[in-house]
Structure 1
């Protein structure tokens, strides 16, 4: 069996913080609370050990690649590094304590440690969530008005990173000052916000946390990537085969992002709402620990989705693994105010390099500039080597994927 009944009378010999948390004994006045059995605790410990180990390795590898290769030091990649740092801090400052608690079947570092654990894990988790939303918005805004990387771009991204931490602090500090509170959750081997207290103070906080730290980031992600996909579909008539291939690749990546976001965080949010608004005992320990573990798996999944599915990072990973210089990307990026609008006036400019990306600006009704000699594997997204059509009502369309698949 995964669960067993433990009398509250024996709590003093185990840990006072464990008994002060959620449970029927705490809220409903019952004589016992349910905890995981030794087998259940062992299974949880194995899962947490796997998550902590691979989350640590994956995020450390991301930081090593970023420090090793200058070509990765673009403004938008700073957001990926921010996500990796927050996930890495979870693996260092959070997961080891819950792992140790699961191996012993009880919380080990007291009430103060429980409050610290709940605060730190909530802070780093929300930083990661908000960073994903900021990343999607940055990719969307880059599609709307792409610019060359300069100091202003770095300042804008830096402000976005600061925003993620300030926003997270705004929602994780209140429980330390009386708006709800941090305490043991589920079987008592992890700590978080007290989901089970039925007071208006606690319920109001949980509703705000659910809306502003889960639903709002999700809506931003869906909106921004939805607009990005729509823009790619708009240029599908320029080069049907290439556009269809790129559209399918981006669509796959976006679907994976959204599904993994929901898989990691939606069960935890639903569990919190059920524990808050449902009757006492509705959320059992095994039912509560599973969403908690799923939320922690985001520290392993995020580097895989947002970094190793990124061609630029993957090329550098291959180069690091084979001890060689990373090869240049073979795709041509084009800059435009909007994918469905043409850039009018003036002769086309030559290619210019910025952050290892090649940009080409084409203007309406003008002969195209001669493309530089590129490697044989180069496949342009748009054929700008042909003379323009005599039909000047047809705009030249320049597509942009905003570094989504670089």
Structure 2
């Protein structure tokens, strides 16, 4: 974000001797408020993602091709909570960065790596759901193989975009009031600006467009089913459509809320006039980006009905029979569900909801 170039010099020369690189950039109360917010993010993000991973490990049947990407998202968010947020929390408590130049570079690289993995996985998740809902019938070995390749691709893609600053295409350094580190958005050289532009387009904008396209197609297909079913089942189809719409709006809104302010701030810092964003204000988008570690488990996992049933079973210490996944007929390539042609009875609707309960 927008910071003083002096911060970069202080990071390598002053932090080890106890000086404050961000003196005057943020008040003591401001640092305390940031520390409180980061503390909540750290605790809630760690517990939420830890719980998700425990439930997935406790119930192997949940490890469907789509859910493998959910596991990848939770794992990357958990790594942010372990390797990133504690450093910025400690820095906010003390009012200055504590781990020197190499610690700052590690923080910037690791947070960018894990964050882009999460972003790419969210977009791949939307594409996988689109493929499952509109093109597939049952999970098979090829889908599992494709999901594993998608997980590996998310990490490889993230490395492609996070290693260049370590090799000279832009760089990692302090941002905002000097208590966090990231790509040096304030640098105005042609190479630095080209890197920021590529990062914004390929790691933020394109994943967002893919999500909108895939979830939009799912909604259109669900609406087509609602028009074809009988009147008796139309209210049930409309409820499912409303459920999917709520999920899609939550997913896209969460993505925009967490990441778009950070991306816009980076572009302003790189291409806007110098000082357009003060260091203290630039801390807010950074905090919003970190809240994704809290929102992701809620939006993408806890609102998944099958996962929620397994979670309740686990906290009840197995007092009931464990839930068993039910595979339902899914739509043909034309986007119309096969069972829409022969609508299920009300009892079947109650016992076996459509794909929205299992995959969305």
User: TM-score, with normalisation over the residues of structure 2?
Assistant: 0.89
Q: Of the candidates 73, 97, 109, which is equivalent to residue 99 of structure 2? A: 109
1:6-405 paired onto structure 2 within 5 Å: 11=10, 14-15=14-15, 34-237=24-227, 238=229, 239-324=233-318, 325=320, 328=323, 333-338=328-333, 340-341=335-336, 377-378=350-351, 401=356, 403-405=358-360
The structure carrying a bigger helix percent of its residues is: 2
Could you tell me how far apart the structure 1 residues matched to 2:20 and 2:142 are?
50
Aligned residues: 349
CA distance in 2, matches of 1:376, 1:146: 21
1:150, CA displacement in angstroms?
Answer: 2.5
Relative to structure 1, the CA distance from residue 188 to residue 224 in structure 2 (aligned partners, 3 Å threshold; closer, same or farther) is same
Q: Tell me the equivalent position of 1:392.
A: none
8 Å CA contact 1:20, 1:183 repeated in 2: no
Conserved 8 A contact 2:52-2:74:
yes
Using a 3 Å threshold, how does the CA distance of structure 1 residues 151 and 334 change in structure 2: closer, same or farther?
Answer: closer
Q: Deviations over 1:129-187 (max 9, x none)?
A: 00000000000011222132222221110000011000000000000000000000011
Offset at 1:76? Answer: 1.2
Which residue does 1:385 correspond to in 2?
Answer: none
Inter-CA distance 316–131: structure 2 relative to 1 (3 Å threshold): same
Q: C-alpha distance in 1, partners of 2:51/2:110?
A: 23
In 2, Cα distance between equivalents of 1:120 and 1:17: 25
Where 2:270 maps in the other structure, the secondary structure is helix
Q: Is the 8 A contact 2:329 2:337 kept in 1?
A: no
3-state secondary structure, aligned to 2:104: helix
Q: CA deviation at 1:323?
A: 1.3
CA deviation vs aligned residue, 1:89-141 (integer Å, no higher than 9, x gap): 00000000000001111110010110000000000000000000000000001
Judge conservation of contact 1:17–1:107 (CA < 8 Å) in 2.
no
Does the aligned pair in 2 maintain the 1:127–1:168 contact within 8 Å? Answer: yes
Distance 2:20 2:184 in 1: 10
Higher relative strand content: 1
CA deviation after TM superposition for structure 1 residue 320, in Å: 1.1
Once the two structures are overlaid, the 10-residue window that deviates more, 142-151 or 239-248, is 142-151
State whether residues 235 and 243 of structure 1, in contact with CA within 8 Å, keep that contact through their aligned partners in structure 2.
yes
Q: Is the contact between residue 143 and residue 339 of structure 1 (CA under 8 Å) also seen in structure 2?
A: no
| Two-structure CA RMSD over aligned residues (Å) | 3.0
Query: Higher mean Cα deviation, 281-290 or 249-258?
Result: 281-290
CA pair 17-301 structure 1, distance change in 2 beyond 3 A: farther
TM-fit CA distance, 1:300: 0.5
Deviation string, structure 1 residues 175-213 (Cα, Å, up to 9, x no partner): 000000000001110000000011001000000000000
CA contact (8 A) 2:304 2:357 kept: no
* Structure 1 residues 326 and 128: alpha-carbon distance in aligned structure 2, compared to 1, 3 A threshold: farther
Q: CA deviation at 1:404?
A: 3.3
> Equivalents in 2 of 1:284, 1:120: separation in Å?
25
User: Normalized against structure 1, the TM-score is what?
Assistant: 0.79
Per-residue deviation, 1:57: 0.3
**Mind listing any 5+ residue stretches in structure 1 that lack a counterpart?**
24-32, 344-360, 382-399
Partner of 2:359: helix, strand, or coil? coil
Q: Secondary structure at the match of 2:204?
A: helix
Looking at structure 2, the residues matched to 250 and 370 of structure 1 have their Cα atoms a distance apart, in angstroms, of 19
